[in-house]
Amino acid sequence: MNYDLFSLDTSDAAKLTVLSMGLGQDSTALLYKYAYDTEFRKHYAPNDFLVIFSDTGNEFDETYRHLEHVKAFCKLQDIEFVHLTADMGYHSGDWQSLEHFYNAKSAIGSKAYPKICSQRLKIDPIYRFLEDFLAKRYGVKAGKKKGFRQFAKESGKIRMMIGIAANEEKRMSEASDRKERWYRESIEHCYPLVDLNMNRQGCQEYIRSVGHDVPIPSNCMMCPFLSLEELEYLRRFCPEALEKWVHYESKKLEKWKHLDSVPVVSSSGKTSIVNKNLGVWGKKYLPEVIEEAREKFSKWTDERIREYRMSHGHCVASAY
């Protein structure tokens, strides 16, 4: 591949490139590209390289097994890999894990609510850790994001390598669009898979081509943005997690049952009764949707459900 075709400015190569590792197929493909493709490495991460995975505490068992493989691989390749867990202090407040938040607040993620879990459990911990890392590794003065600005002034912006595949461009964002000044001045986003026109299938093929197993798409087991097919996967292969999820929803609905019937006055002055006590699927609660998925995919074999899970992944807009 001709890397000179790409728009990424390499005239002032980044001192530090960070791979935001989700442990799914996209970010795994990027890790292997860095390890095996010399031209890729020269173009996207010619200097210091760091891989960070922030743990939500609610990943699939397959993802945690893949995590161990990636740790061993990085050690063998002399690639610095950081596994951020809640005990390290970078997850904050009630967001020690997804379930910790659900328990602490009697809350539940919902398709009807703004999505904040990726920000709280992945993005925020990464940048809290990263500022400490900059202080220890490069001697900047950390605190209130001043370390980022000092590093950028002295060594250039940090290149954040993000695993968004081709055909998912709608999920991309520019660091320059962020409201935080420190972010705009210190971070640049990098999307190599889009540059390389590597879609999900291309990532899978590349991972196999370099001799590794393809991991499942990564996401929390109790993510409200999963599809009915993924819910059926959960019902068949992770019943204990699904049972806990139903429990969390039930607990939330009980705590907020006073919102089951709320009088709402329209602009015309008409009063109507509205249910504002929403579950994972909004006004449809999990047991009902689980049954819908069971019926809809009753003729699907386990193999077909597994194949769907391997080849799909719900995509949500997250700003890195």
Write the pLDDT tens digit of every residue in 280-298.
Answer: 999 999 999 999 999 999 9
Name the token pair of 220: 């929390």
Distance (Å, whole) CA 210 – CA 79 = 17
C-alpha 4/C-alpha 26 separation (Å) is 22
Q: What is the DSSP letter of 166?
A: T
Transcribe 65-93 into DSSP letters: HHHHHHHHHHHHHT-EEEEE-GGGT-S-T
pLDDT at site 319: 37
- Please report the pLDDT score of residue 94 as a whole number: 95
The two tokens of residue 180 are 């935080």
Collapsing DSSP to helix, strand or coil, 12 comes out as coil
pLDDT value of residue 20: 96
Q: Which CATH number fits domain 3-209: 1.10.760, 3.40.50, 2.60.120, 3.30.70?
A: 3.40.50
Task: Give me the helix-helix angle, 61-77 and 25-36, nearest 10°.
Answer: 10
Tell me whether strands 80-84 and 262-265 are parallel, antiparallel or unpaired. unpaired
Low-confidence ranges of the chain (pLDDT < 70): 1-12, 313-320
DSSP for residue 121: I
Element (H, E) at 171: none
pLDDT at residue 169, as a whole number: 85
Query: Given this model, what pLDDT does residue 320 score?
Result: 33
User: Is the Cβ–Cβ distance between 148 and 182 less than 8 Å?
Assistant: yes
**Does the pTM of the predicted model rise above 0.85?**
yes
Report H helices in 174-285.
181-186, 192-195, 200-209, 228-237, 239-255
Domain ranges of the chain: 3-209, 228-311
Distance CA(6)–CA(193), nearest Å, equals: 11
